[in-house]
């Protein structure tokens, strides 16, 4: 039950792009290294120190919650994920993670409430859809079990048996909060490698970042799909391209670094990427939470939507 956890928070180290972000967050980076070595308790202490020094660091709170959940420090993890929600109320993923914890605690109603909140924020969140479906099956099975107590009803028994078969088919044995993802790279201990589709999307995002940093407008525009809508600010796609061309070429230098990359599959087959974007140039700098949506094409994954959250 709820085996797909923590929104696939990959924090992929896309060399060389993340070096600056790692320098800016040394405590979090140190905790990641500890987790990779299986030193969860030390990582928790490091992350507590990090959020004490910088209470608005939602990435550190997120990683703290992940690590606390894996150590079954559920109340602490719940508090950490609530901090993430307070700092980033538009993120759907912390609600999914809370659902995992509430399921472990046996509070199915609270878990469903969190998944409903997650899907309200992101209706295309495949993991949350799967998890809430599993919980509805589990809740129905428990209701039938209660109905059968002292009630010799053959039809109810058959329905209960079918639900148990569904749960057995959908749930690997022993799925617990121990399987909460670490939020590290694919080489982290006990963390499954990202799927081929996820790797392809991450490669496309890295190509986009690299082209932008190199001020290679040809490669930069090639990262966008023909269906890309630049928004109401621009009357045409051409006017958007001209604006971006001028903005990129007029800079003496551009550096774009990415960190804390979240990749999630959508129900329509597209992939959503949420990440921290650190933009630096000779005339402007910004740290933004960025969202990209990419769709598969014959030429690879292309950006069809872009937004600053």
pLDDT one-digit tens code per residue, 193-221: 446 788 899 999 999 999 999 999 999 99
Residue 277 has pLDDT above 80, yes or no: yes
Residue 130 class from Cβ within 10 Å (0-12 exposed, 13-18 middle, 19+ buried)? middle
Which candidate, 201, 261, 237, places its Cα nearest to that of 21?
Answer: 261
Strand partners, 264: 272
Instruction: Give yes or no on whether 19-179 and 196-308 have one common fold.
Output: no
Instruction: With cut-offs at 50, 70 and 90, classify the pLDDT of residue 8.
Output: very low
Contact assessment for residue 34 and residue 46, using Cβ atoms and an 8 Å cutoff: yes
pLDDT in tens, 92-136: 889 988 998 998 888 989 999 999 999 999 887 777 888 888 888
Residue (of 78, 89, 72) closest to 180 by Cα position: 72
Average pLDDT over residues 222-249: 91
- Burial string for 179-216 (b: 16+ CB within 10 Å, else e) reads bbbbbbbeebeebeebeeebebbbebbbbbbbbbbebe
Average pLDDT estimate for 226-233: 88
CATH topology of domain 19-179: 1.25.40
Average pLDDT over every residue of 147-169 = 71
Digit-coded pLDDT (tens) for 23-75: 344 477 788 778 767 788 998 999 999 999 999 999 889 989 988 988 889 99
Please enumerate in sequence order all residues whose Cβ is within 8 A of that of 108, keeping only pairs 6 or more positions apart, or say none: 102, 135, 138, 139, 142
Would you say how long the chain is, in residues? 309
Contact 301/163 with Cβ under 8 angstroms? no
Contact 168, 161 (CB under 8 A): no
Answer CATH for 196-308 from 3.40.50.970, 3.40.50.620, 3.40.50.410, 3.10.450.50: 3.10.450.50
Q: What residue spans define the domains of the chain?
A: 19-179, 196-308
Q: How many alpha carbons fall within 13 Å on the CB side of residue 208?
A: 23
Of 100, 245, 281, 265, the closest CA to residue 197 belongs to 265
CB half-sphere exposure, 17, CA atoms < 13 A = 28
């Amino acid at each position: 039950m709820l085996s797909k956890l923590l929104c696939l928070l990959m924090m992929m180290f896309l060399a060389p792009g993340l070096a600056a972000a790692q320098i800016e967050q040394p405590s979090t980076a140190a905790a990641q290294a500890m987790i990779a070595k299986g030193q969860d308790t030390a990582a928790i202490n490091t992350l507590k120190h990090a959020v004490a020094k910088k209470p608005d660091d939602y990435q550190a709170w997120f990683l703290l919650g992940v690590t606390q959940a894996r150590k079954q420090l559920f109340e602490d993890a719940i508090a950490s994920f609530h901090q993430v929600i307070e700092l980033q109320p538009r993120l759907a993923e912390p609600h999914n993670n809370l659902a995992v914890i509430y399921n472990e605690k046996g509070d199915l109603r609270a878990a469903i409430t969190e998944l409903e909140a997650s899907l309200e924020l992101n209706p295309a969140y495949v993991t949350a859809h799967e998890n809430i479906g599993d919980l509805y099956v589990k809740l129905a099975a428990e209701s039938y079990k209660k109905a059968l107590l002292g009630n010799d009803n053959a039809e109810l028994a058959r329905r209960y048996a079918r639900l148990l078969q569904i749960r057995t088919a959908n749930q690997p044995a022993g799925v617990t909060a121990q399987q909460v993802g670490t939020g590290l790279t694919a080489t982290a201990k006990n963390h499954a490698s990202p799927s081929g589709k996820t790797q392809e999307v991450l490669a496309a995002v890295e190509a986009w970042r690299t082209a932008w940093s190199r001020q290679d407008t040809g490669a930069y525009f090639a990262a966008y799909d023909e269906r890309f809508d630049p928004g109401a600010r621009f009357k045409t796609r051409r006017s958007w391209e001209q604006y971006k061309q001028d903005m990129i070429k007029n800079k003496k230098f551009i550096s774009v670094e990415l960190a804390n990359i979240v990749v999630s599959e959508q129900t329509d087959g597209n992939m959503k990427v949420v990440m921290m974007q650190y933009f630096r140039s000779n005339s402007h700098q910004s740290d933004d939470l960025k969202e990209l949506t990419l769709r598969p094409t014959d030429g690879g994954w292309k950006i069809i939507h872009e937004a600053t959250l």
